[in-house]
Structure formats: structure tokens, C-alpha cells
Chain A
Amino acid sequence: MPTGRTTIAGVALRMPYWVFTGGLAAIFLFPLAWTAVSSVSPHAGTNQVGGWGFGNYVTLAGYQAGIWRYLANSALVSLLTVTLTLLISLLGGYAFARFKFPGKNLLFLATLAILMVPYATLLIPLYVLLSRVGLANSLVGVALVLTMFQLPFATFMMRISFEAVPRELDEAAQVDGCSPFNVLRRVLLPSVKPGLITVGLFAFLAAWNDFMAPLILINDSDQMTLPLAVANLRGQVQGVVDYGATEAGVVVLALPCAILFLLLQRHYVRGFMTGALKG
């Protein structure tokens, strides 16, 4: 049977498939492309009325405390969440994969149980608890909460990453006189690096994009994160929505995510697959 891929008839036969799948891809890409283009194109009722340019970004930059403030807030929350998540899940994954200790299974199940509880169910008591310990309205508080929500995925991911490393490797290192901490640092850390990248990527995307935790935990407009600021931006100008500035905000929000996705696509897909294998 001829494969037909290179013959003219074969190409003609595959045309409908290409048109159909290409059309589907276009549907998925169109909203992103349209937003990026119209954020710099002229439109009545925005700060970019005549000609092309970055007028909408200027509006965005001057909104309330200024976009730099909100970018800095979002960056702080993301950085803190990623650092804490990496640190805790690295140590926790090592403990769950390589040690036997009483309460191990209970602690692991409790960590996974975080997935089972609705976001809102935890955020309301957390709002009360954080204000009792002086973390009301605090970006650090938001980062702590977001780290907790990352732990089920991160701990699971790091545990299976450690378990995939042959035990002979750390046993050999221990025989050579390495302490367990040095085994982790010198021998295991390089082997679990892909797992760490996946965990870090997911923690960043979650923290950068999270809306509900800052919405509930932050009241002060100076402490808002970027998604919150862009959402509030709508309808601030005498009840008229500045669509141009909103588009610019979406672009600023989406750009880091899209770049990271394109750079780390393999790690991104791997994270999803881990989620799938769990079932």
C-alpha cells in the first residue's frame, strides 16, 4: 500500500485534515493575537485614539499606585511562593521518598487532602487567622497561602522524582562518607532538577495568576497584585470601561506566562502528566 504522503493525491486527501486542524488552532490562538494587536491599535474611548502606539500602556502605568507597584507586588508574591514551594517540597519529597518515620503516610495523605478542599472554604478562616498574627493585608501572607495550595502537587512531584533515582546512588555516597544532607545536595539534587523545574514553573504560574487569594486577603489598593489591579481597572473611570487599558493589562499579565510556556513546554506537559498518573 502506498503511503501517499508525498504524492499529489495524498496531499489532496490530507487537505481537509489540515484545513480543519489549522482552523481549530486559529480559534485557540485568535483571542491572544487579537488582544495583543488591539492593545496597540487606535480605538475610540481609550488613550490610543489616533494611530498605533502604546497609549493604553501609559494609562495602565498611571493607574492608582502605578503598574510598577503592582508588578513589584506580583513579582514579590511569585518569587516568595516559588522559593518556599521549592524548598519545602525538596525537603519533604526527600523525606517521603527516602526515610521511614512514624506518621509519614498520614502526613502525605493530609498534604494531598489540600486538593479536596474548596479554595473558598480555606480562604475565609485564613483571612481571620492571618489578621490575628499580623499578616492581614500582607503580600507575605498571600505567598504563604499560595505555597500551601501548591504543596499537594509539589510534594507529590518531588516524591516521585526522588523515588525515580536508584537507591544505590545515595547508598554509595553514604558509604563514601556523605551525610544525608550532602547526599541530598551533591548527589540527588542534580537528578531531581527536572522535577524542581516543573514544580517551580507551576508555582510561578499559580502565584502570578492567582486572583482569589489576593482578592480576599488584600484590602489595601497599594498591596494589590497585578491581576487584581487589572480587574479593578475596569469601570474606574466614571463607570466607563477603558477596554484599551484592560487589553494592555491582559498582555502584561499573559506575556511572562506565554514566554515561560514556550521555553519550558516539555516541563509543563510533564507536570500535567504527573497529575494524570496520580489517578
Chain B
Amino acid sequence: MVTNLAAQAERPAATGRRFRLRRGGAVLGWLYATPTAVFVALLFALPLLLVFKMSASRWPLLAGDKGLNFPDNYVKAVQNRFFVDSVTFTLKYTILATILLIGLGLGLALLVQESSRWRNLLRASFLIPSALGLASASLLFYVLYSPLAGPAAPLMQRLGLSFLGTPNMALGSTLFLIVWRYAGFYMVLMLVGLQGIPAAVYEAARIDGASQWQLFRRVTLPLLRPTLALSTVLCVTGSLLAFEQFYILTKGGPDNSTISVVQLIYTVAFQGQNDLGVAAALSVIGLLALIVINVAQLRAFRSEGS
């Protein structure tokens, strides 16, 4: 308390100091924000500018910048023999993954909504796969799906099936991996949304004689719209940028049927063609497509809401 008394005795001086601090606030603010600004400028803004330049330049992996050649890289990018296939496949995968994850996330959230010891246990078991890296999860399922070492191998052999053998099986198996890895994450997002719905609304609807289904359809779903919108945007963005699950689990196969756009970018840049210019052009196309798709989604959710 001694310091307190001393401070009180010096109050006029302290107020003067506080005034000085407030005036110097802008400088101090910048000082504290400098590390953030440096990182954002050097590791985000600068590469973002460079990728546009690279996309308009001949830029082999090893030789480096060989001067502008716009629009050659974009032409080559679109004419790549896997371009159309990878875009189609990525869109198909995105739609399926989003429907599954949003639906199952909401379903799981409704199952464990109220807190009890058993439900907390359930929540933890649904959530623990999301602590694993996607690469680790893909490696785990690579072994799990293997026709040699997997637990279902004898059964699959008898049925004449293979988890990664046909394009549809490979897509289904990847989707199962993704649901396993991410369903808990979307469950938590939905739980937060559900907690935001006031209990009074449910009570009022129940007094009006609404059935369980009507409660879900007329109360839960409309009031959950902001959460559903956010989850959908997150899920669509994540799925459009899918890489690890295809690079590690399916390796793009069978018959190049599961090549995602990001995987194509990686292949063009570092495997075989070694053309950073074309890879940069593909990245720019991907970035613009992502912005358009996200703006369209936000618009759709907003107009539906009004």
C-alpha cells in the first residue's frame, strides 16, 4: 500500500504522465504492432504480389525469373491435361464433403447438446481426431485401408473390393477419413450456435404445441443460420484447398481420378514440369475462384436471411 499512497501523493504528476502517454499512444501502438506488421508485409503481402508477377513470367524451378511472358502461363495452366478433371473432381469432393460435414456436425451436436458425464465423454471422443494433423490422419487411414495390413483386409478380399481400388471407392474412403478428422470440429461450431439460441424461444414454441420436428425445422434451423453460414464457408474453403488427403492417401489415383487443384499446383511446380510460372498462374486462378465462391456464398446466405 506504500506505493499506492506514494502514487496518490504524486497524482498531479501521474496525470500529466498519463496525458503524455495518450498523446504518444499512436507511436506506442505502432511499436507494439510492428512485429505483426513486419510478418504480414514480408511473409504475406510481398509473396502475394510476387505470385502475380510469377504467374506472368517464365519461371522454371531451378533457373528462376526469365522475364515476362503473359499470358502464356495462364494458357498453359488452362490447357494442362488435368486442369478440367482436377477442377471437376475438386468441386464434386467439396460438395460431398460439405454436405456430410455440416449434416453430421449438426447431428452430433444435437446428440451431445446438454451436458452430462456421458455426453462429455462422447464429445471428447468425437473431437480427439481433430487434434491429429491431417497428414497423420491420412497416413493412419493409408494403413487402415491397406489390402495387406488393414483390419478389414480379409473381409474386403472376400467381397472382391478395395478401399482405394476404384475412383468411387477412393473418393468414398477419403470422405470417410475427412468426416472422421473434422466432424468433431464442426460439432463444436454447431454447439456454440445452439447455445446462442435462447431457451425461451423453444419454450414458447412448445407451449404453442410444436412437435420435435417442427421445433427443429422452424426454430433451430432458422436461428442457427449464422453458424451454418460460417461453417459452410469454412468447409467449402477447406475442401477446395484439399491436398494432404489426396497426396498421401490416394496419391491422385486410381487412374488420376482423385487429383485436387492444389495437388495439380504442387505437381506442376515441383514434380516433373518444375514450372513455377504455370503453378503461380494456377494459384492465382484458384485464389480468384475462391474469392468469387466465398462472396457468392455470403451473398446467398444474406439474401436468404432477409
* Choice from B35, B108, B136, B148 contacting A92 with Cβ under 8 Å: B35
Asked if B184 lies at the interface with its beta carbon under 8 angstroms from chain A, I say yes
Question: What band does the interface of chain A fall in when counting residues whose beta carbon is under 8 Å from B?
Answer: 35 or more
Closest to B104 in A: A24
B residues within 8 A CB of A209?
132-136
Chain B contact residue count (CB 8 A cutoff): 97
Q: 5 new A-B pairs (CB below 8 Å) besides A87-B35, A88-B35, A125-B280?
A: A35-B144, A91-B32, A122-B47, A122-B51, A253-B136
Docked CA distance A265–B125 (Å)? 11
Closest 7 CB pairs of A and B: A209-B133, A99-B29, A279-B230, A101-B29, A95-B32, A211-B135, A92-B36
| A116-B294, A145-B43, A209-B135 known; A107 vs B140 contact (CB < 8 Å) | no
| A29-B125, A155-B36, A176-B4 known; A95 vs B29 contact (CB < 8 Å) | yes
| CB atoms of A126 and B14 under 8 A apart | no
Closest to B277 in A: A124
| CB atoms of A126 and B39 under 8 A apart | no
| A243-B146, A257-B133 known; A272 vs B185 contact (CB < 8 Å) | yes
**Chain A residues engaging chain B, CB cutoff 8 angstroms:** 18, 21, 24-25, 27-29, 31-32, 34-35, 38, 43, 45, 87-89, 91-92, 94-96, 98-104, 107, 110-111, 113-114, 116-122, 124-129, 144-145, 147-148, 151, 155, 174-177, 180, 205, 208-212, 215-216, 227, 230-231, 234, 241, 243-244, 246-247, 249-250, 253-254, 257-258, 260-262, 265, 268-269, 272-273, 275-279
| CB atoms of A246 and B139 under 8 A apart | yes
Asked if B283 lies at the interface with its beta carbon under 8 angstroms from chain A, I say yes
| CB atoms of B144 and A208 under 8 A apart | no
| 18 pairs of residues in contact across A and B, judged by CB atoms under 8 Å | A27-B180, A28-B180, A28-B183, A35-B144, A99-B28, A118-B286, A119-B241, A120-B262, A121-B48, A122-B47, A125-B46, A126-B47, A174-B18, A243-B143, A247-B149, A250-B140, A253-B133, A253-B139
**Chain B residues engaging chain A, CB cutoff 8 angstroms:** 3-4, 7, 10-11, 14-15, 17-18, 21, 25-37, 39-40, 43-48, 50-51, 54, 64, 108, 111-112, 118, 121-122, 124-129, 131-136, 139-144, 146, 148-149, 151, 180, 183-185, 188-189, 192-193, 226-227, 229-230, 233-234, 240-241, 243-244, 248, 262, 265-266, 269-270, 276, 279-280, 283-284, 286-287, 290-291, 294
